[in-house]
Structure 1
Amino acid sequence: MDNNQLTHDHHQHKNVDHQIVLLCDHVKGPANIGAIFRLADAFQVSEIIFCGTSVDITSNRLKRTARNTQSLVRFHESESILKTLDQLHAESFTSVALEITTKSTPIQDFKNKDLKNMVLIIGDENHGVSDAVLDTVHHTLHIPMYGANSSMNVAQATAIALYALRAS
């Protein structure tokens, strides 16, 4: 039996049973944003909402990292993350912030089988998810880490979170 790499033409898309919106709290690095577009496509994120920052979709760094997924994934910008979050809550979205806090739950312990609409909030590269947002969300999750550093790159953390949320 051959173990050959599949081409894009042979890749089978999976159907997902719940919607995830990705809400970015002041994420601004072009490489991170490009990677987030690529991840959003890979994990069938319904939409990316960039809050508190303007995204330069023409950035060469963003385009190289995104590999054209910026033209496939729906996105928009919002000035106020709190107003956006309130609107999503009104539309029956359950909010999940990805941040390590004194009250956060390890992501592998989060039970989301019954959630149909979820908004995953990721934070600024230097300061994470803002305190005002943490005070508003339904759940705060963290990725357990075993090294001396207490944080990781926002795009890498988003990849782990989206995988965990889709796999559970």
Structure 2
Amino acid sequence: MSSTKKLKLEELGRIDVETFKETKKTPLVVVLDNVRSMHNVGAIFRTADAFLIEKVILCGITPQPPHREIHKAALGATESVEWVYEKDISEALQTLKKESYKIIGIEQTSDSKALTEYSITRDEKYALVLGNEVDGLSDEAFSAYDAFLEVPQLGTKHSLNVSVCGGIVMWEFFKNLK
């Protein structure tokens, strides 16, 4: 182990923005439904870049780039990851349904399944919807969802930070779809 060394940034072999845009993406869209924290938005963009996510859709009060606070967490990922703003979450989800995406709400509901129990298939396209830090997913769009998933938690807290939860869920879908 004594020969192990940390790699410098230039040794990581990361692709540039142009190459990223031309690279085949994971068939996954992330929708942010009234996420209010710019840090959470930036962190979601950075994770979306890491896992070659197709697109991020920002809805409702979710802040949009460019903004210094988003950039601090995103570290430039708002330049590589495609994104759009759609004011109305219901319209955004209906458009995704028409494009044959399975709409997956990340929420604790009476019908939610544990993320580990959900069968992710490579012949499907998925849209993961993450909700507001306090109120969760918007009630008006509940009928649009094909499934609700939650990250199993065994401690004393009732929820995870939305960007942490998003990272866990994106990783689970990425590893099953790639």
TM-score by length of 2: 0.85
Provide the residue aligned with 2:138 in structure 1.
130
* Inter-partner Cα distance in structure 1 for 2:123 and 2:112: 19
* Inter-partner Cα distance in structure 2 for 1:54 and 1:24: 7
Matches within 5 A, 1:104-123: 104-123=112-131
Provide the residue aligned with 2:155 in structure 1.
147
Q: 1:166 aligns with which of 164, 170, 174?
A: 174
Gaps of 5+ in 1: none
Provide the residue aligned with 1:30 in structure 2.
38
Provide the residue aligned with 1:95 in structure 2.
103
Q: Is the 8 A contact 1:52 1:78 kept in 2?
A: yes
* Inter-partner Cα distance in structure 1 for 2:136 and 2:74: 22
* Inter-partner Cα distance in structure 2 for 1:72 and 1:80: 24
Q: Which 4+ runs in 1 deviate beyond 4 A?
A: 15-18
* Inter-partner Cα distance in structure 2 for 1:105 and 1:16: 29
Q: What is the CA-CA distance between 1:43 and the residue it aligns to?
A: 1.2
Q: What is the CA-CA distance between 1:62 and the residue it aligns to?
A: 1.4
Provide the residue aligned with 2:5 in structure 1.
4
Q: Is the 8 A contact 1:134 1:140 kept in 2?
A: no
- When residues 16 and 5 of structure 1 are mapped into structure 2, their CA distance, relative to the original with a 3 A threshold, is farther
Q: 2:59 aligns with which of 51, 54, 71?
A: 51
Q: Is the 8 A contact 1:18 1:115 kept in 2?
A: no
State the aligned residue count. Answer: 167
Q: Deviations over 1:128-158 (max 9, x none)?
A: 1122323320010000111222111100000
One-letter amino acid of the counterpart of residue 5, structure 1: K
Q: Deviations over 1:79-132 (max 9, x none)?
A: 111111111101111111101111100001111124431100000111111223
Provide the residue aligned with 2:49 in structure 1.
41
Identity of aligned residues (%): 25
- When residues 23 and 83 of structure 1 are mapped into structure 2, their CA distance, relative to the original with a 3 A threshold, is same
Q: Is residue 70 of structure 2 the alignment partner of residue 62 of structure 1? A: yes
Secondary structure at the aligned position of 1:164 is classed as helix
Gaps of 5+ in 2: 16-22
